[in-house]
Amino acid sequence: MHSRRWLTALVLIPVLLLVLWRGGRLGFVLLLVVINGLAQWEFLGMLLPESEKVRRLKSIILGSWLLISFCTTHPATYLCNPSGPLSVLVLCLFFLLLFYLFSYGHIADLGRDLMVHTLGLLYLPLLLGHFIWLRYMPQGEQWVMWLLAVIFAGDTAAFYSGLAWGEKKLYPEVSPGKTWVGAAGGLAASLAVGVLLGRWLLPQMKVLNLLWLALLLALVGLLGDLFESMLKRQAHVKDASELLPGHGGMLDRLDSLLFAAPALVYIRLFLLGL
């Protein structure tokens, strides 16, 4: 398992960095569309395994539209423009409501199906779209790379420290594998990487700011991890899929980032002013 985990990372990380630094905005958005489509497919298949595949495709198309709507920016400042995603989200929800209205009598447990598809839009493309805003902001590539490093370092350190020394469970009802030692190890790694890499990628940031920001994002990422674990417990599955050997599914790699990316965007906008 460990060799597959590292081999998968060694293959995917260079691809991710290549798209981030050389793919431009278009390449980055296209990569997110693919990632979002895979994650939505896993999410719907996990919570609605009996659903028809055509219904999943309908939600993935809506999710891709919602994700792309984050590309809209203010023409003068090129900063994020919430009116685009907000209007598209309303249209997507309106379409879903009409779809299920006219599907009455043809879908078993229609209410549950509607709620899961609606949650899929709010949980995945709406949160993932903040990566587009983060990439479009000043020094976007550096901030995206820094965030990925902070979260991935925390996830890796939490996994191995918990495996080696963890005994007392953090939240066994939701995530039986997570321990307090693992959580502490993950936070420590996120802090170390956040400061060390931040001094290189983000030289304008003070060390104190890097410290509290890395700690906050690590904590928010942990909540995102626990939220996805809760969904998996409800679905009675260990991983969202087996797409990424040693890691699980695409959703298993995104869980922490889905909470951390919006947090970083709004911290930059309203607290740091960067």
Q: Give the per-residue pLDDT at 76.
A: 46
In tens, the pLDDT along 23-56 reads: 998 999 999 999 999 999 999 999 998 887 888 9
SS3 for the chain, per residue? CHHHHHHHHHHHHHHHHHHHHHCHHHHHHHHHHHHHHHHHHHHHHHHCCCCCHHHHHHHHHHHHHHHHHHHCECCCCCCECCHHHHHHHHHHHHHHHHHHHCCCCCCCCHHHHHHHHHHHHHHCHHHHCHHHHHHHCCCHHHHHHHHHHHHHHHHHHHHHHHHHHCCCEEECCCEEEEEHHHHHHHHHHHHHHHHHHHHHHCCCCCHHHHHHHHHHHHHHHHHHHHHHHHHHHHHCCCCCCCCECCCECHHHHHHHHHHHHHHHHHHHHHHHCC
In tens, the pLDDT along 225-268 reads: 999 999 999 999 988 888 888 888 999 999 999 999 999 999 99
In tens, the pLDDT along 47-104 reads: 998 887 888 999 999 999 999 999 876 544 556 678 889 999 999 999 999 999 999 9
Res. 177: pLDDT tops 90: no
Res. 1: pLDDT tops 70: no
